[in-house]
Amino acid sequence: MKVVSLRFLKTMLAVICLMALSAGEVPAKVMAPDFVALAEKLKPTVVNISTSKSPAQAARPRRQPSPFNDPFHDFFDRFFDEAPRRQQRERSLGSGFIISDQGFIITNNHVVAGADEIKVRLSDGREFKAELKGADEKLDLALIKIESKDQLPVAILGNSDEIKVGEWVMAIGNPFGLAQTVTAGIVSATGRVIGSGPYDDFIQTDASINPGNSGGPLFSAEGKVIGINTAIIAGGQGIGFAIPINMAKDVIPQLEEKGKVIRGWLGVTVQPITPDLARSFGLEGERGALIADVVKDGPAAKAGLKSGDIVLEFDGKKIREMNELPRIVAATPVGKAALVKVLRDGKMQDVEVSVGRLADTVDESDQKNGEDKLGMAVRELTRDLAARMGLKETQGVVVTGVKSGSLAEEAGILPGDIVREIGGRSITTMADYEAAIRAVKKGDVVRFLLRRGGGNHFLAIRVE
C-alpha cells in the first residue's frame, strides 16, 4: 500500500482550486438582510386582531379541518383553540397587515369568521373597531377595514412569482398574544399542496410562526409582502406555510367591491400525468392536466373538450402540473373566451372555451325538501353537483345548506360536507339518509362521520 505525503496532497489541492477559479467566477458571499432596519420600518404596518363570538357562534369551526387529522393530529393547525365554548364568549387572536391608507387590512378568514366583534390594535397602541368587508373561505382570506383620521402606515405588496427557494424572509405577527414578534428564515419550498382546499399553492418557510401569527405578513428581504402566514404543522419545527401574495392580489378587488369572490369554472375533472400515461398519450415529459371527465352541458363540453384531452396551456398560461389548471381557471373572468391548447390523439389542437361561473353553493332549487329537523339541506351527489361545489367526491349525500342557529350549525356541520355515516349507519343514498334522520329522537346524541376536505371528520349532535 502506497503512502502519499501531506505535501503532495496540499499541492494537488492548490492545483484543483486554481483550476476551479479559472473555470468560472466564484459566487459572491450572500449577506443576510439588515433585519434591524427592516423590523423598524415594517412593524407599524402589522396589526394585532382580536375577535369575540357569542356562544352559539363559538361552537362553529372556523374552517374545514385538514385531511391529515389522524393519526398525526391536525396537519393544518389553524393557530388558535377551536374547541366549542357554549357558556361564554369566545375570544381569539390573530394578525394582519394594512394594505391601503383607507384602512383596508388583509388577514385570514379563519381569524375573523363568525365574529360578532373585530378589534384591531396598531403597533403604536391605538385600537379600532373593524368592519368585515369580504371573505373567501376557499383561499382563507378576509378583508377588514378600520376608520382613522390619521395617516396609516401601509405595507407594500411584492411579487410572489419571483421568489426563489433559499431567499431570506421575515415574519411579523402576534404569536401566543406576544405582540409585534419578529422572526426570520428562508423560503424552504414553493407550490406546496397540503390538502387545505382546491387552490393550494403555499410558500413553505422555516421562519418561526406560531398560533397567533395567522393572517400576518411574510416579508421579502426587500421589505415587500410576498405571503400571508396561514398554516403550520402541529408539533413540527421550522415548517410553516403562507398564501402567495399574488393569489391575494387577484381576489382583493372582489372582496372590496362584492364582499365575495366570483371564480371561473371549466366543468372538467382532471388528474395528474404519470410517466406511463405520458408515454401512452405520446406526450414528452409529465406536464399538463389530463381531463378524466367532462361535466354535461358545462363550458368544456360546449366547447368540445373531451375525456382524454391533455391541457397544456390555458389562456396563454402553461400548465406544468394538474393543480395549476384549477387555480388558473378560477382566476379567469367569467364569460371570457379563453384559448385552450390540448394534446388529443397525439396532435396539438386549439379549443376556445367561454369560461363559466363556479357556484359558491347550490341553488335553492337544487336542495332536497329544504332543511331537515337538524337544520340541514342535503342532496344526493352527482358529478355535475360535485363540479359546481368544487368537490373531488362524486358519490354519496352532500350537505348543500345549513340553517342559521340550527343544531347542525352549532355542531359545526358545513355546506360541502359529505355524510358517510349517521350513528354508525352507512349513508350512500338519500334513502339511507332519510331513514337515519327519521330514527333520530329528542334527547339523542347522534354521531356523524363526514368527508371534508379529503379527510374524515366526526361530529356529534345533541338533539334538544
Return the C-alpha cell found at 41.
420600518
- Is 457 part of the annotated catalytic residue set? no
Catalytic residue among 77, 92, 136, 140: 140
What Å distances lie between residue 279 and 91, 252, 346, CA to CA?
Answer: 55, 41, 10
Q: How far apart are CA 172 and CA 55, in angstroms?
A: 31
Return the C-alpha cell found at 54.
357569542
Strand partners, 294: 268
Q: How far apart are CA 392 and CA 179, in angstroms?
A: 40
Return the C-alpha cell found at 92.
381569539
What is the Cβ-side half-sphere exposure of residue 177, based on CA atoms within 13 angstroms? 5
Q: How far apart are CA 231 and CA 64, in angstroms?
A: 13
Query: 102: Cβ–Cβ under 8 A, 6 or more apart, which residues?
Result: 145
Q: How far apart are CA 342 and CA 353, in angstroms?
A: 12
Please state, as a whole number, how many other Cβ atoms lie within 10 Å of the Cβ of residue 255. Answer: 23
**Is the dihedral angle over the CA atoms 46, 110, 367, 392 positive or is it negative?**
positive
Q: How far apart are CA 301 and CA 296, in angstroms?
A: 6
Catalytic residue among 214, 372, 406, 457: 214
Q: How far apart are CA 131 and CA 459, in angstroms?
A: 31
What is the Cβ-side half-sphere exposure of residue 276, based on CA atoms within 13 angstroms? 0
Q: Is 191 exposed, middle or buried (0-12, 13-18, 19+ CB in 10 A)?
A: middle
- Is 110 part of the annotated catalytic residue set? yes
Catalytic residue among 50, 92, 95, 110: 110
- Is 101 part of the annotated catalytic residue set? no
Quote the distance between the C-alpha of residue 160 and its chain's center.
15
Q: Are 232 and 196 in contact (CB under 8 A)?
A: no
Catalytic (active-site) positions: 110, 140, 214
